[in-house]
Amino acid sequence: MKTQNAACGVLPIQSTQLSRGLVRLYQRLAGELAKAETREKTFLSSDQAKAGMQQVAGLLELLGVNFAPEALKPLRTRPYRGLLARGEIRIGVIRAVKASGGWLSVADIVKRIVSEHRLVLAPGQRRRLHITVKKRAAALRKAGILEREHSGVDVRSQRWRLNPEHSRASRGPAQQTMPCDVVRLAPPVLRTVRQSAPELPPAVSPSSVDPSLLEYR
């Protein structure tokens, strides 16, 4: 896809991200047509998908986008069907290795996730969860969050733990453990500031005043 300014009528703004989103929408609408051809359940009718594709193509032309619709791959939109919600397996992997405090195998991580969410899995579902946990752990290792013991071919021989360097970096210098010498220092002396009240003039007794200075009304 190539974006460029059209001859007229194009706003002088950055529209690359918007154009990419429209192209992806065009692909999903084309995917609805492809699903209808194979008698797969669709979210839109063929007429609705075709009308939407024409409207998206008009918007792309308005933005000055040159694209070849025939070269785009249709995207078949399908509802997400997983054992857990999106992101729960990734969070479960981190929570499991963090609670263990050391090395943990993929099978042990799967057991902790199944126990935490009280899942009842068939053998095929457990195998898929095992593969998904391995992929999530590899992605977390690539991000620097986890550390792998070794890169063996056998899945059962791989063990994972939190990356110590990432843990220290996430805590920051203010949250790291203080050395013993600093802890043994004497407690700081708190300085208290006493603010003295301004001195008031001495009280004058009426008997000590000269009678000639008194004025009676």
pLDDT digits (tens, 9 = 90+) for 56-98: 999 998 888 888 898 999 999 988 777 888 889 999 999 999 9
**Cβ contact 121:114 at 8 Å:** yes
Same-domain pairing of 100 and 43:
no
Whole-number average pLDDT of the chain: 78
Q: Which of 166, 162, 165, 158 is nearest to 110 (CA)?
A: 158
State mean pLDDT over 115-144. Answer: 92
Instruction: For residue 26, give Cα distances in angstroms to 29, 109, 192, 208, 217.
Output: 5, 40, 72, 104, 101
Q: Which residues contact 166 (CB under 8 A, 6 or more apart)?
A: 144, 145
Assess if residue 12 is contained within a domain: yes
**Torsion, Cα of 59, 61, 66, 69 (10° steps):** 60
Q: How many domains are contained in the chain? A: 2
Indicate left, alpha or beta for 101 from its phi (over 0: left) and psi (-120 to 50: alpha).
left
Domain membership flag for residue 189: no
The answer to whether the beta carbons of residues 93 and 133 sit under 8 Å apart is yes
Comparing 2 with 24, the larger pLDDT belongs to 24
Q: Distance between CA 24 and CA 73 in Å, rounded?
A: 10
Tell if the pTM clears 0.75, that is, is over it: no
Is the domain of 95 the same as that of 51?
no
Residue 186 lies in a domain: no
Q: Structure tokens of 201? A: 């003039």
More confidently predicted of 208 and 90: 90
Integer Cα distance of 173 and 207 in angstroms: 72
Q: Do 111 and 151 sit in the same domain of this protein?
A: yes
Domain containing 113 — which CATH number? Answer: 1.10.10.10
Share of the chain above pLDDT 70, in %: 68
**Residue 111 covered by a domain:** yes
Quick one: 28 and 57 in the same domain? yes
Q: Which domain holds residue 28?
A: 2-71
SS3 66: strand
